[in-house]
Every structure is written in structure tokens, then in C-alpha cells.
Structure 1
Amino acid sequence: MKAVTSFFDRMVQRYLPDAFLFAIILTIVVYVMGVLFTDSGPVQMIEHWGTGFWDLLAFAMQMSLVVVTGYILASTPVVKRILERISSLAKTPAQAVMLVTFVALIACLINYGFGLVVGALFAIHVARRVPTVDYRILIASAYSGMLVWHGGFSGSVPLTIATPGHFLEESIGQIPIAETLFSPVNIFIVLFLVITLPFFNRYLLKSTDSLQNNQAVTWNIPEEDDPESAATINATTPAEKLENSQWVSLIIGVMGLAFIVYHFVLNGFDLNINIVNFIFLFLGILLHRTPRRFLDAVGRGVKNAGGIIIQFPFYAGIMGMMVASGLSAQISNWFVSFSTEATLPFFSFISAGLVNIFVPSGGGQWAVQGPIMMDAAMNIGADTAITAMAVAWGDAWTNMIQPFWALPALAIAGLKIRDIMGFCVMILFFSFIPMAIGFLFF
């Protein structure tokens, strides 16, 4: 275990570039593959890339708000006190890693954006409590919670196909979450990872002795923000008094909560991205108590979305090339070509993991692979709900080696992607076990 983990850590430290360069390299790779393996020529591939470059601006804004509003809520005094109390449960490095992993898994099951942010912030709290823990593995453990997001309440695929009017409704109808999120295969995979992943990450911790050559390592843990700093301002002008008025936050916060209640009364448990951002935003306004404190938190949180803002268009361009050239369809159809009723979910999972490296967006990937996999499932008699969940889990699985979704956690933690990727590769291998068992034998 030490030798394998050490090998992957050395490889990524030496050869893995910054996440932005990773996106550029993927762009070049997909361009060359499109020219070589599809009917699109060099000029057409450039056209596909440029045409698709701005196609995901709305989704990029949603994802940026997930990070920013998640940070705003997680940095409120109330939530920070909760995190501090929970972090006090960790007394040793092993306990620290297990605790961070478990909290990140539960948070990502609730909502992946909140889980990403809370996992990283909680890891920082724990690192301050247990300074001898390997900080890199602690952040990798926080990021490993993303493995379960598509099997939780913010999974874009199960929520999409349960929504009236989704783009595949004419062919597959509406598939309720009872057949996807609460299916035996999904429950098995989620429970397996929630129970075992903390122990696996603890086991990975033992490999860090050899990685650090038994030398003491000092980690640059980010300093703690002070959300109460704005309270020291002596408001003298009408504008300053308005900015520090609790009544302003209370009025607009209550309005926001009223709409949230109205939404759930009218639509049931419809936890889409927009309503999640809405909840985070207005709870953040209320719990920060004054507009000034809220805006200070916004200023700190926005910097964590920088990587998403600049890189998402590049991935939209990659997706444009993958879809318009037919490259993604070729990959999916190749797996379908040798699938049977029993094996289609498993090979859908594998193909989704491969496509996710180039299209790291659950909703975007479903738009690419959903029609192909659902058509194949209906033609050979496979379960459409389980096949859809296989695509969802494939998307979540290879997030461990796709830097895109690690960007918010890394920005909060002050690390580079190469600092955690060696450990994430090992987590990728381990998590394959329950997913393969689930889709082959359930």
C-alpha cells in the first residue's frame, strides 16, 4: 500500500500540471481525437470548440453560486461554532482523517456544493485541532465526499429524470427517486462508502510516513476568518448604519424563507440547484445578521469560485467538440455494442467515468449520454432507472481524478491539485469495488 500510494504521489507531484493547464491539455487531446476518429476536419473541430465555448454560462453561474453561497453559509458564526464543536472530537491524526471523511460524505449526500465547501472548511478546523495530521490527506479526505454526491439529494441525473418536462420524458417518462436514489443498488453503494471510506482514508494515512521520509512537515493552514470583524465598525453615517442594520437582513431574510416554504408546499421535495442556492443565500443573510458582515463573507467566498469561472468555458468548449463531432456518442455506442441486459448498467458506469474526464458536468454529461444509454436500455430490456444511476455514479467516480470539482476545496485549503491527486487515485481504485458490485450483481 505504501509503495503504490507513494508511486502515484510522486507521479502527480512531478507530472500533473495546474488544473487550468489540465483543461487546456484536455482541449488539445479532444481536438486531435475528433480530427482522427470522426468525420470532422480541423476547421470543423475549431468551429465546434468556439461555438460551444459559451454554452454553459448559466450553469457556470449556478455552480459559482453553489460555491459562494455554500461558503457564506458555512462561514456564519452559528455554522462555524457547530464545525468547531464537531472538530473537537478528533484527538489523533487517524481520528481526524476519519472524522473529516465522514462529515464530507454526509454533507455531499445532502448537497454537493455545500459538501465541497463544508468539507474543506471542516478539514481546516480539524487541522488546527490536530496539527500533526498530514494536511494533504485531510483535504483529499474532504474531497472524497464527492464520490457520493450523485447518489444523494442533489444528484442531477435522478432529479432531472424525476422532473416533469425533462428532455427524455417522451421516451422514458418520469422516473421517481424511489427507483433511483432509493433503489437497492444506490443504497448499497452509498452505505458501503459511508461505512468503509473513512477506514480506507485512515489506512492511506499510514503511507504518509514514507512519503515524507519521516521528516516533520509544516503545513500552511489558512488563517481563520473573523466574521465578527465588521461589528467593530462605528457606524456614523446613514449609509453605514444601513449596512450594519440587522433589520435589513431580517426583513429580506424572512422574505426569502417565505418563498422557500412556498416552493416546497407547491412543488413537494423539489431540491434543484436554484432552490439550494436560494436556501444557502438567505440563510447566510439571516445568520450573518447584518448586510456588512454578509458582504464581507461574499468577498471572501468569491475568490474560491475563480477557477470555476475561468475554466468552465474551456470545458464547455470540450463538450462542444465531444458532442458536435460525435466523439462522445462513439464512446458510448462502443460500450453499448457489447452490452447485454445484465451488463449494460456496468458498462454505462464505465463509459460515463471515461466521458466525465472530458465533460465534468453531471447535467452536461447526462445531456450527452442520456439519450444513447436510455435508448439502449429500452432496446435490450435493461432497467432504465438503474442504467441512469450507472451514468450518474460514473460521473461521480472519476471526479477523483478530474481536477475541476476539486478547485473550490483547494482554493479554501490553499493547496494545489498535485498535493492531493496521488491519494485521490487510490480512492478511485477503492471506490470502484462497491460500484462494480452494485451494477453487476444487483
Structure 2
Amino acid sequence: MPIALEDSRFARFALRCSHFAERWFPDSYVFAALAVVVVALAATAVGGAPMATAAAFGDGFWSLIPFTMQMAFVVIGGYVVASSPPAARLIEGLARVPGNGRSAVAWVALISMLASLLNWGLSLVFGGLLVRALARREELRMDYRAAGAAAYLGLGAVWALGLSSSAAQLQANPASLPPSILSITGVIPFTQTIFLWQSGVLLLALVVVSLAIAYATAPGAATAKDARACGVNPAFSLPKLAPRERPGEWLEYSPVLTLILVALAGAWLAREFASKPAIAAISGLNTYNFLFLMLGALLHWRPRSFLDAVARAVPTTTGVLIQFPLYGSIAAIMTTVKGGDGQTVAHHISTFFVQIASHDTYALLMGIYSAVLGFFIPSGGGKWIIEAPYVMQVANDLRYHLGWAVQIYNAAEALPNLINPFYMLPLLGVLGLKARELIGFSFVQLLVHAPLVLVLLWLLGGTLTYLAPVTP
């Protein structure tokens, strides 16, 4: 286990965690399969029928297929765009900014977190591609694993505190709110959630602390493990476009079809952005993926070049395609299998926390609850629909600020992402790494983030007064 004295104490600790994770942390598929076993046993323990558990496993297996395909296209679209000459030049320009390996890791962390405030999918793809570009600068002696973990900080630290927050977006749009939530919370505008000054303080604290940890835990030149040492060739495989051999291939080598498709896409996008706020439009994964694919087609110019880029990208989506269905099963078992008292595992967990909560402890207990449940049911905010009715009812009963209750959910939901490979899979596809190679570094972030987030949620929540529901 090579650890140099020139590395900081934090870097030496991170390397020990990394070596432990690489040795003992299972493949992300095994991790997901074990989680299925754990929640199945929990459902049985509360009195759920074995056949009901099996039924939920099968029924839930395909429940995330639309989201699975969306995440696969996040990877494909990112690869297609990045493998085009114009985008490659932009990424290369950004990759020339850092002057050494440690600052390169911090630079990736900053770009990832800023991008995630606009769109978490963008942070995954762009951060991963930036890491690959930096890895091509051999003089940096950058640790490829640490940089990969830094690229994941957008999802593991701040994404839900920005415009990517599905919970905040949902609460601000009455037309999207289910009646079961609207009757309890009313409409909560952004000014009472992500635009609170308390949210700004929390966001700034997380960005600064995350950057400091990323820099401090990055191994020095002597111990840095570069991309090739990780078995990854950081260069994009961009073979020269083969010449046209037969008349029937003319359209494959002509930009005519590309230009027609892009024109149609441009008209649709113009309508989308004209009918809703720009951030709301781009935050939808379908719109985001559509934009990236059409942009990739335009940048590649010829259909043949575009199709070759897609073919190179597809193998990197393997983990997403085979593992996300297991997470769908986990969510189904936890939320649909009823025990002897007619309640689900998710309900038992939530009831435990809400029964012991008071106005003073609400932030701490709800933060812990959201983080624990988020570990088994990773969500880009979708599980807010499940949790909001009882979580927000408790906030009302305790006369707690409803907007800050949303932010408690947002900040705490990101914590388990740091060690849960669910959202890491598209990034791993871009980087060509396994989850175990990033977990050691992101675990150090979690050790600091967890107490910091919980304490700040508690302290900042104390500066707010009750926000009564406002219905449209």
C-alpha cells in the first residue's frame, strides 16, 4: 500500500480508505443485489408475506425502465457530444487550467458542483469527461480515482440545493402537486426553499468544505494512480471516418438528413423554452437528453460519424442497464409490501422518526430519516411524493417552517449518494472505473458532510418561523 510521507494526513487517510474499499467493496451489482436481500428480509420481519415480497420484487423490477433508459442516454449523449471535435476542444481548454494534480482534483469538484446546481445529469457527464481530459495531461500526476470521486460531488453534495431539486420544483408548481400533498403544504415558492438565505449559507458551506476535502485528500505525485495504472486509456477512440464505398451510403456521409432533423429539433426546443422557464425546461431529463443527442448529431455533421460515436458509447451503459432494475425492486418492496399491521417498511421507518420528533429535533431526525431511506431508495426527488404527506404533516403539527422542511429533505437526500453506486453508474461508464475505486475518497467526504449537514440544518432551521400553507 504505497503511501508517501509527502501526502497530507488527510490524503493518507483517504488512500487507506481507498485501498480498503478496493479490496473489500463489492461490485456495484453485488451491492444492489445485497440491498434487495436486506429489504426483502426487513419486509418479512414486519410480517410481510413471502409471496407478496416476491411479487413486489418482480413487479418493481421494470418500474424504473424509463428512468434507466434516460440515464443510459445521459452517458450516450455525453459521449457523442464530447467525441465531436468542437466539444473536445472546449473540454481540453478547461483541462489546461489546473497547474498540478491536487488542484486538478479540486477543479473537477468545483465544475461538478456548479454544473449540478443547473442539472445533475450534466454534472455527471461533463465532470467525467473533464477527468478524462485532465488524465491525458501526464505532467499533472493526478490521481484518477480521486478526480473521479470529485466528479461525483455534484450528486453527493449540492445538487438538490439548486434548480435541480425535484422536490422544490414540485412544491413550487401547483399543477404538478398531487392533491394529497397540496392539501397539506400548499404552494411553496422557491423564495421559501432554495432561495432562502439559509439555503445559500448551507450551499456555500458545502461547496467550500467539499473543495477543501477534495484538495486535501488528493494523493501527491509520488502516490497518485493515473488512468493507465487504473487500466483506463483516457484518450477517446476516434478512428478516422472510413471513406464511402458504395452509392447507397451517400446519405450516411451527407449532412442533409442531420440538418433536417436538427431543424425539427430546434423548433421543438424553441417551443419548450418559450412555454416554460429555461431552467425548468432543461431540468427535464428527456429534454436534456434530446438536446444532447441532437447537438451531438450536429457536431458530428455526418450520420456515419454520429452512429460510430453512439456505437462506441453503448458498452459504457452496461452497469446502468443491468443494475437499475434491482433498485426498482428495492423501492417496490419497501413501499408496497404490507406487514401484519398493514404498514410497509418505509412507513415503519418514517413512523419511528416522526413519533420521536419535536420542534427542536425535527431537522436532525428528519435529516437522518431522509438519508437512511435514501440509501435504499435512491431518488432524484421522486420519493418526495411518497414521503411528503407524512413528513410535512408533522412539520405542520409542530409549526415548523415548511420550506425548510423541503430543504432538510434535499440536503440529507444527497448524503447516501456518496457511498451508494446508484447514480454513480453513468459516471463510472464515462470513466471506465468501478465503484470501489471511488468509494474510498467519497467516504471521507461523507464523514465530514453528514455531521456538517445535520448541524447546519438544525441551526439554520432555528432562525425560521412557521410558514403556514398557502393554497392557490
Equivalent of residue 41 in structure 2, options 1, 26, 32: 32
Answer whether contact 1:70 1:113 (CA < 8 A) is retained. Answer: no
- How does 1:182-197 map onto structure 2 within 5 Å? 182-197=195-210
1:296 to 284, 293, 308: 308
Find 2:187's aligned residue among 167, 174, 178: 174
Helix, strand or coil at the partner of 2:163: coil
The AA in structure 2 aligned to 1:316 is G
Give the structure with the larger helix fraction.
Answer: 1
The whole-number CA distance in structure 2 between the counterparts of 1:165 and 1:199 is 39
1:240 to 243, 249, 252: 249
Say what the alpha-carbon RMSD is for the aligned residues: 2.5
State which of 330, 336, 352 in structure 2 corresponds to 1:324.
336
Please say if residues 189 and 434 of structure 1, whose CA atoms lie closer than 8 Å, have aligned partners that are also in contact. no
CA deviation vs aligned residue, 1:253-304 (integer Å, no higher than 9, x gap) = 1221221121121123323222222222222222222222222222222222
* Residue of 300, 315, 322 corresponding to 1:310: 322
SS in structure 2 opposite 1:404? coil
Alignment equivalent of 1:15, drawn from 18, 24, 27: 24
Which ranges in structure 1 are unaligned for 5 or more consecutive residues? none
Q: Which runs of 4 or more aligned residues in structure 1 lie more than 6 Å from their structure 2 counterparts after TM superposition?
A: 207-212
- Assess if the C-alpha contact under 8 Å between 2:172 and 2:190 holds in 1: yes
Partner residue of 2:229 out of 218, 225, 229: 218
Change (3 A) 1:137 1:2: closer
Partner of 2:160: 150
1:41-97 Cα shifts (integer Å, max 9, x gaps)? 322222222222222222222222223223323333222211101111122111211
In structure 2, how many angstroms separate the alpha carbons of the residues matched to 1:411 and 1:372? 37
The alignment of Structure 1 onto Structure 2 pairs a total of residues equal to 437
Residue in 2 that maps onto 1:284? 296
* Residue from 101, 107, 114 that aligns with 1:99: 107
Check whether the contact 1:222–1:413 (CA below 8 A) recurs between aligned residues: no
SS in 1 for 2:51: helix
| Shift in Å, 1:238 | 4.3
- Report the more deviating stretch, 95-104 or 370-379: 370-379
Equivalence for 1:397: 415
Q: CA deviation at 1:430?
A: 2.1
Structure-2 change in CA distance of 1:217 and 1:74 (3 Å): closer
Distance 1:12 1:211, change over 3 A: farther
Is residue 363 from structure 1 mapped to residue 397 from structure 2 by the alignment?
A: no
Structure 1 partner of 2:6: none
Structure 1 residues 260 and 358: CA distance shift in structure 2, 3 A: same
2:247 and 2:410 map into 1 onto residues whose CA distance is 52
Provide closer, same or farther for how the CA distance between residues 15 and 436 of structure 1 changes in structure 2, counting only shifts above 3 A.
Answer: same
Query: Deviation digits for residues 345-371 of structure 1, max 9, x if unmatched?
Result: 332222111111111122342233222
Deviation (angstroms), 1:123: 0.6
- Please, which of 395, 398, 408 is the counterpart of residue 377 of structure 1? 395
User: Secondary structure at 1:362's aligned position in 2?
Assistant: coil
**Conservation of the 8 A alpha-carbon contact between 1:76 and 1:227:** no
Deviation at 1:211, TM superposition (A): 9.3
1:303-344 deviation digits (Å, cap 9, x = unpaired): 222211111111111111100131112112212122223432
Give the 3 Å change call, closer, same or farther, for CA 303–346 of structure 1 in structure 2.
farther
Letter in 1 for 2:449: S
The separation in 2 between residues aligned to 1:268 and 1:413, in whole angstroms, is 33
Q: 1:342 to 1:166 in 2, by over 3 A?
A: same
Would the aligned equivalents of 1:185 and 1:438 in 2 still touch at CA under 8 Å? no
Matched, 1:410 2:423: no
CA contact (8 A) 1:5 1:207 kept: no
Local SS of the residue matching 1:403: coil
Classify the secondary structure of the residue corresponding to 1:429: helix
For the 8 Å contact 2:74–2:426, the answer to whether it is kept is no
1:54 — aligned with what?
62
Match of 1:118 in 2: 126
2:169 aligned to 159, 168, 174, which one?
159
Aligned 8 A contact 1:101 1:144 in 2: yes
Tell me, what secondary structure is at the counterpart of 2:378?
A: coil
Distance in 2, matches of 1:219 and 1:50, equals 37
- Per the TM alignment, residue 20 of structure 1 is displaced from its structure 2 partner at its CA by 0.3
> Percent identity at matched positions?
30
- How far apart, in 2, do the equivalents of 1:263 and 1:217 lie? 43
TM-score by length of 2: 0.86
Q: CA deviation at 1:118?
A: 1.2
- Counterpart in 2 of 1:85? 93
CA distance in 2 between counterparts of 1:125 and 1:378 reads 49
Letter in 2 for 1:162: A
Query: Which of 258, 267, 271 does residue 276 from structure 2 map onto?
Result: 267
Q: Does 1:198 align with 2:208?
A: no
Alpha-carbon distance change, 66 to 412 in structure 1, aligned in 2, over 3 angstroms: closer
CA 1:237/1:144 → structure 2, altered by over 3 Å: closer, same or farther? Answer: same
Q: 2:456 aligns with which of 419, 438, 441?
A: 438
Q: 1:70 to 1:6 in 2, by over 3 A?
A: closer
Q: 1:219 to 1:314 in 2, by over 3 A?
A: closer
The runs of 5 or more residues in structure 2 that have no matched partner are 1-9, 338-343, 461-472
409-418 vs 118-127, greater mean Cα deviation: 409-418
Which residue identity does 1:203 align to in structure 2? A
Structure 2 CA distance, aligned partners of 1:291 and 1:239? 13
Q: Would the alpha carbon gap of residues 245 and 193 (structure 1) be closer, same or farther in structure 2, given more than 3 Å must change?
A: farther
